[in-house]
Amino acid sequence: MRTIPVQTRNRAEMVDITAQVRDAVRESGVSSGICVVYCPHTTAAVTINENADPDVARDLLMGLDRLAPRDWPYRHGEGNSDAHLKSTLVGCSERILVEEGRLILGTWQAVYFCEFDGPRQRRVHVKVVADGVRLADGVRLADGVRLADEVRPDV
């Protein structure tokens, strides 16, 4: 698993983390499988959306503000209930196919970290799992050993 640090600058923003996720896939050595991008924060999220036009990210944030306005009479006392609601609406993880060691994303797609209660220092976890492998009988993975080092193909 790789952890990606994300420093946000605004209360609400979308940060393109595609390059860092691609690096994690490359470093994993996995040729074919799935990449899971997970956000361990209750006031942030992860999504895949268009990266060609920055107005798309701004529109998404404005739309979420309409769905979960900051000034609605929430009961939670910290003043960030809208951020919790937005996090739930967008979701805490994305799964992306990996083929030939590369993320399978559409032409205009990017992976975004969505901040709803910043600015903050945040993190995202990335785990890449290979297709068609299982642990050999009795094999245990030691710390620092890549999955690909201790597996054999399914038969």
- Give the per-residue pLDDT at 142: 45
The mean pLDDT value for 128-139 works out to: 70
Concatenate the DSSP letters of all residues of 83-137 into one string: HHHHHHHH-SEEEEEEETTEE---TTEEEEEEESS-S-EEEEEEEEEESSEEEPT
- 72: DSSP letter: S
3-state secondary structure of 147: helix
More confident residue, 141 or 1: 1
Which domain range does residue 51 map to? 2-153
What confidence tier does 132 reach under pLDDT thresholds 50, 70, 90? confident
Residue count (the chain): 155
Task: Give the domain CATH number at 94.
Answer: 2.60.120.460
What is the structure's pLDDT at 137? 57
pLDDT at 121: 98
Average pLDDT taken over every residue of the chain: 90
Section 4-27 average pLDDT: 98
Q: Which tens digit of pLDDT belongs to each residue from 81-119?
A: 999 999 999 999 999 999 999 999 999 999 999 999 999
Q: How far apart are the first and last CA of the chain?
A: 26
pLDDT reported for residue 116: 98
Q: What is the DSSP letter of 39?
A: -
CA distances from 113 to 87, 123, 138 (A): 11, 9, 38
Number of domains in the chain: 1
Whether pLDDT at 145 is above 70: no
Mean pLDDT of 1-30: 98
Bigger pLDDT: 23 vs 149:
23
Q: What is the mean pLDDT of residues 76-84?
A: 95
Nearest CA-CA partner of 80 in 66, 70, 89: 70
